[in-house]
């Protein structure tokens, strides 16, 4: 019986809009992937190239997310843990162990370990970081077409000055996180 280790990471805790997305990746030890790193340190083009390679070479991968309503009702930490659980549940195999980026581990059906800075240290977590980032960026590109004027394709929902200005002028959309301070402020004033 093979012992599969899944790396898990999430993307999108800091934005004011959109879901939090997590990915779980089980790499094939016989097919190492060069260039894996924390997704934040890679260009969009490099992440997309690695996404294709990870998908081609890995044993299994899956993603999960928590919607804005879940973020607002649970809080962002609990929603992030829920997204991670969903990503692991969506895997086509049950890993023997799970390595999670950060200092918090959700409950899984197998042993798990949280590793601070794991997305820069552990290849499977790096791969999960890349997969989650590419997926969330694609979601926010799509949201840009549904809600023009906010700049979601550019800032991905993060609280840039452009986004804050758009919120004040255009108001709050259904994909904005109402529990986050800048969005709450716009709702209070509006």
CATH topology of domain 5-189: Nucleotidyltransferase; domain 5 (3.30.420)
Could you tell me which residues are beta bridge partners of residue 115? 101
> Which pLDDT value is given to residue 3?
85
Work out the average pLDDT over 13-28.
98
Express each pLDDT in 22-37 by its tens digit: 999 999 999 999 999 9
**Cβ-contact 126, 36 below 8 angstroms:** yes
Express each pLDDT in 71-111 by its tens digit: 999 999 999 999 999 999 999 999 999 999 999 999 999 99
CA dihedral 69, 72, 76, 79 (to 10 degrees): -40
Say yes or no to pLDDT of 5 above 60: yes
Say yes or no to pLDDT of 59 above 70: yes
Per the model's pLDDT, the better-predicted residue between 2 and 63 turns out to be 63
As a three-state string, the secondary structure of the chain is CCCCEEEEEEECCCCCECCEEEEEEECCCCCCCCCCCCHHHCCHHHHHHHHHHHHHHCCEEEEEEECHHHHHHHCHHHHHHHHHHHHHHCCCCCCCEEEEECCCCCCCCCCEEEECCHHHCCHHHHHHHHHHHHHHHHHHHHHHHHCCCCCHHHHCCCCCHHHHHHHHHHCCCCCECCCCHHHHHHHHHC
* Residue 46 CB neighbours (<10 A): 14
Structure pTM? Answer: 0.95
Angstrom distance (rounded) from CA 61 to CA 54: 9
> Which pLDDT value is given to residue 122?
97
């Amino acid at each position: 019986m093979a012992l599969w280790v899944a790396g898990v990471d999430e993307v999108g805790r800091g934005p004011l809009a959109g879901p939090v997305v997590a990915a779980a990746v089980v790499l094939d030890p016989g097919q190492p992937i060069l260039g894996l790193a924390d997704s934040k340190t890679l260009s969009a083009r490099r992440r997309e190239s690695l996404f294709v390679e990870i998908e081609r070479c890995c044993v299994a991968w899956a993603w999960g997310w928590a919607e804005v309503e879940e973020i607002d009702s649970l809080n962002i930490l609990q929603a992030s843990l829920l997204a991670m659980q969903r990503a692991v549940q969506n895997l086509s195999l049950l890993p023997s162990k799970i390595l999670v980026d950060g200092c918090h581990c959700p409950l899984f059906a197998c042993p798990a370990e949280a590793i601070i800075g794991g997305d820069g240290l552990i290849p499977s977590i790096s791969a999960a970081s890349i997969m989650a980032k590419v997926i969330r960026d694609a979601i926010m590109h799509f949201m840009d077409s549904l809600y023009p004027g906010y700049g979601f394709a550019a800032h991905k929902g993060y609280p840039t000055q452009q986004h804050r200005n758009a919120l004040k002028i255009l108001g709050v959309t259904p994909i904005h996180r109402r529990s986050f301070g800048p969005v709450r402020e716009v709702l209070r004033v509006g």
